[in-house]
Structures are given as C-alpha cells and as structure tokens.
Amino acid sequence: MPHVFEVAELTRALKSVVESEFPFVWVRGQVVNLSRPGSGHVYFSLRDAEASLGVVWFKGAQAGRVTPGGERYDPLTGEVLERPLAGLLADGMEVMVAGRLTVYPPRGTYQLVAEVVQEVGAGRLWLEFEELKKRLAAKGFFEAARKRPLPPHPTRVAVVTAPAGAAVRDFIRIGRERGHGAKVRVYPTLVQGEAAPAGIVRAMLRAVADDWAEVLVLIRGGGSLEDLWAFNTEEVAKAIYAAPLPVLVGVGHEVDVTIADMVADVRAATPSHAAQLLWPERGMLAQRLDDAEMALRRQIGSLVSLRERDLAALARGLSWLSPARRLTRLEEAFAAGEKRLTRAGTSRLDVLSRRLDGLEARLARRFDRQSLDARDDALTRRKERIAAAMRLFLADRQGRLDVTAMRLAGLDPAAPLARGYSLTTVLRTGKFLRREGEVRPGDKLDVMVYEGRVRAVVSQDGPDDGENP
C-alpha cells in the first residue's frame, strides 16, 4: 500500500525540497498588492504578464548592513543607502528582489523571503495609466449613471478586434452556442502597437456610421501591460465615451483591467465572457419556454373550465324558461289537480255512504218494515239523485279540464306548424315576421317548419301576383 501523507508532513517535505533547490535567487517584476502591517514587515507580490509571486520582506532585512562608521550599505553591491527602500516601495514599481524560496505551511503556498530589494524603475506605463485614470475620472468618464445596459438578445453585433486572433474565434464560437441566433460583423483593426489606438478608433467610427448594430464590442486576448496599452489610451477612451451604442469591452484575462474597461458601458472579464454577457444559454431559454408553455396551458384550462361552468348555467336557465318546459310544468300541475279532485270526490262519496248506512241502521231499529221500505225507497232515489249530481259535477269538471287542455294545445307554438304553418324570423332584427313592412329587399329569413328550417332571402321584386312566371 502506498504511503499516505499527512498534510503537515507533505508540506514539510515540499518546504525542504524548495529551500534546498532555491537557496538564493534573483527575481524581477512589478510590485502589486503592497501591504505594511503594524509589525513593520512588508508584504507584496511580484507580477509579470503570466504569473505572480508572493514576497515577504521582514523588518530586520530592510535596513541593510551597518558600517563601523554607522552608514548603511547594500551587502551585495556595497552601495551606501541614503534612505531605506522599504519606505519608498509602492505599487507599480519595477524591482529586483534577491532572497530564498520557501513554503509557508499555514497556507500551503510558496513565497520569496526577500534579503535585498533594488529599484529598477517606477513603472512608466503604470504611472501613465494612473495619471490617465485620474484625469478621465475627473471628467466623469467612469460615472455609473451614464452607462447603458446591454440590449436583451441582440441580433446585430459589431465587433472591433483583430480578425485573425483567437479572441474573435472564441467569441463567435461561444455566440453560436448561446441565444437564439445573431449576426456578427467584424470590423478589423490592429489591437497592439503604436498604430493600434488610431485603428481601433477608425473601426469604431465605421461601425457607428453603418448604423446597423445594436451593440458595439471591443475584444482582445491576454498579454502584458505593454501588449494591452492600446486600450489604455485617451483617444480610445474618448471614442468609447462618445459612442451612441452600448459598448461592451472584453480585453485580456480576468485580472487585466484597462481604461477601456472602465469607460465601457459593460466590462467583460475575457472575450469569451463578453459573448456570455450578450446571449443567455440556450438551455435556459428552452426552460423559460417550457415554463411559459405550462403557464399558458394552466391559464387556458382555467379559462375553459370557467366558460364551461357559465355555459352550463346558461343552458339550465334557458331550459327552465323555454315554452316547452312551461307547458310540461302546466300539464304536470293539471294532472296533479285532476288526481286531487278524483280523490276528494271519492272520499266525499264514501263519507256520505257511511252516513247513509248509519242512518239506515238507526231507522231500522225505530220503524217497522213497511215504513222502512218506504224510507228505503226514498233514500234510494235520493242516493241516485246524488250519484247523478256527482256524475254531472265530475263531467262538468272533466269538460273544463278538456277545454283547458285544448287551450294549452292551442298555445303550443309547434302545433300550427304541423298544419302547414311556419314561423319566420328576420335575421337582421332577430324578431318574428308579422307584417310585410318589417322586411326589406335583401333581408335574410329563417323559416321554421314542422320538421326543420329553411333559409330564404327577400326578393328585390314585389309580391308574386301570379302573372309573372
């Protein structure tokens, strides 16, 4: 089984290797991220176009060596130091540092422990950069209030860059994979060298003059401060500031910041990032489309359900108010009345019959047979008269019921249709036709017959008098 290192064990091993291999080195670079804590030590990084190295300059090593006469001197060169460089060190200075490489275990990083720091130059380009930045900031070139947002989903994009560079290839490649399609016009120019600033300005002016693009993009790949200097010039900054289109700048790597980045409406970390800022991922667009489709389906389903409920309510109301339904209800009411009347008549006859039977029994007990027979005859005749009267009464009520039924049948709008009549509706007014003057030539008619409907149009001629064919 291979040996498994503890973190501290591996760090100590690396520290031993680094310190033994690089006991003393000279490194040249530009000072960045300078820090002076209260301990008196100085921390900074040495940076060039491709890498960065952390440096610690301990307080004890900053004063150099002291002669017997009290003068301080550089132990390597013998130069007398009039004042310590540690107090003059600033971001942007170009220096040479001599010291030993080591590993700092708490962070697991390697760093240079400085013994000697010598100034090479104050960094001319860096000082020019800072001076121009201050001058443009005073003129309001960097104000956030003047910066415009990028148009959403631009379909016409003007790109100012070197036509054969990797930056434009990366930009177009990523643009093809994002958004929902766009046209890109490349305005070629130099992006490095003395002629680059003027070329960039001319390309931007051509793009603006074409009046075609929705957004103007400046891109360039990474490089040193000197390589990117065309984008740190005042003429390029003024062209970006004056552009009537939103300007997106993606120059260098993520750590590179130019004057053009600061003046632009939107800054991209890299040319590829510029394409990502312009167009969203297609997967995200598809997801938004799916969300919109599902929301639309829910809204349509809710609307259809609501309209179905409204239609059902209207259908119930219409069926309740229709003439056929009303006639049905009247017929049901008459049938129920007829049953109640029959039950009432039968009940009345039963009551009278029982009373007669009771009276007959009482009379039989009081009177003789002859008297009873006479009374029985009288009662029989009276009973017959009552029955006859009852029959007349029921016949009268039946007659009235028949008359009422005939009247109801006469009110049935469909009954005359069976005898050859028809109901004609004027479609223009929606009313039944009762008079000749209610129509005019060209009116469309809906004629309802006993079985079906017929559509007709009022003729331009007068009524047929039988003389015309």
pLDDT for res 437: 85
Q: Are residues 170 and 115 in the same domain?
A: no
Q: Are residues 144 and 119 in the same domain?
A: no
In the chain, the amino acid numbered 290 is: D
- Helices 234-242, 124-138: axis angle to 10 degrees equals 30
Q: Are residues 189 and 236 in the same domain?
A: yes
Q: Are residues 94 and 162 in the same domain?
A: no
Q: Are residues 274 and 165 in the same domain?
A: yes
Residue 342 to residue 348: CA distance in whole angstroms = 10
Q: Report whether 325 contacts 366 (CB < 8 A).
A: no
In a domain, 436, yes or no: yes
- Structure tokens, 97: 């540092």
Q: Count the Cβ atoms, other than its own, within 10 Å of residue 67.
A: 9
- Structure tokens, 123: 């960094």
In a domain, 101, yes or no: yes
Q: Are residues 171 and 236 in the same domain?
A: yes
Residue 280: alpha-carbon gap to chain centroid? 14
Q: Report whether 74 contacts 97 (CB < 8 A).
A: no
Which residues sit opposite 453 in a β-bridge? Answer: 448
Q: Are residues 150 and 115 in the same domain?
A: no
Closest CA to 179 of 271, 282, 261: 282
- Give one DSSP letter per residue of 104-139, joined into a string: ETTTTEEEEEEEEEEEEE--HHHHHHHHHHHHHHHT
Here the contacts of 368-377 (C-beta below 8 Å, separation 24 or greater) are none
pLDDT for res 468: 44
In the chain, the amino acid numbered 298 is: R
Closest CA to 355 of 326, 393, 386, 327: 386
Q: Are residues 108 and 82 in the same domain?
A: yes
First to last CA, the chain: 118
The pTM for the full model equals 0.43
Note down the domain range covering 445.
417-458
In a domain, 328, yes or no: no
In a domain, 350, yes or no: no
- Give one DSSP letter per residue of 264-314, joined into a string: SSEEESSHHHHHHHHS-BHHHHHHHHHHHHHHHHHHHHHHHHHHHHHHHHH
In a domain, 75, yes or no: yes
State the CATH number of the domain containing residue 226.
Answer: 3.40.50.280
Q: Are residues 113 and 212 in the same domain?
A: no
State the CATH number of the domain containing residue 42.
Answer: 2.40.50.140
**pLDDT of the chain along its 469 residues, tens only?**
678 888 888 888 888 888 888 888 888 888 988 888 888 899 999 998 788 899 999 888 886 655 555 555 455 444 445 445 677 788 888 888 888 899 888 888 889 999 888 776 445 666 688 888 899 999 999 999 999 999 988 999 999 999 888 888 989 898 888 888 889 999 999 998 889 999 999 999 999 999 999 999 999 987 766 788 899 999 999 999 999 999 999 998 766 788 999 999 999 988 889 998 998 876 666 667 778 888 888 899 899 999 989 888 888 777 777 777 777 878 888 888 888 888 888 888 888 888 888 887 777 777 666 776 777 888 889 989 999 999 898 988 898 888 888 888 777 777 777 778 888 998 888 888 888 888 989 899 998 888 888 999 988 765 555 444 3
In a domain, 30, yes or no: yes
In a domain, 343, yes or no: no
Domain count for the chain, please give it.
3
Q: Are residues 166 and 110 in the same domain?
A: no
Q: Are residues 81 and 166 in the same domain?
A: no
List Cα–Cα distances, 337 to 340, 344, 356, 397, 411, in angstroms: 5, 10, 29, 11, 20
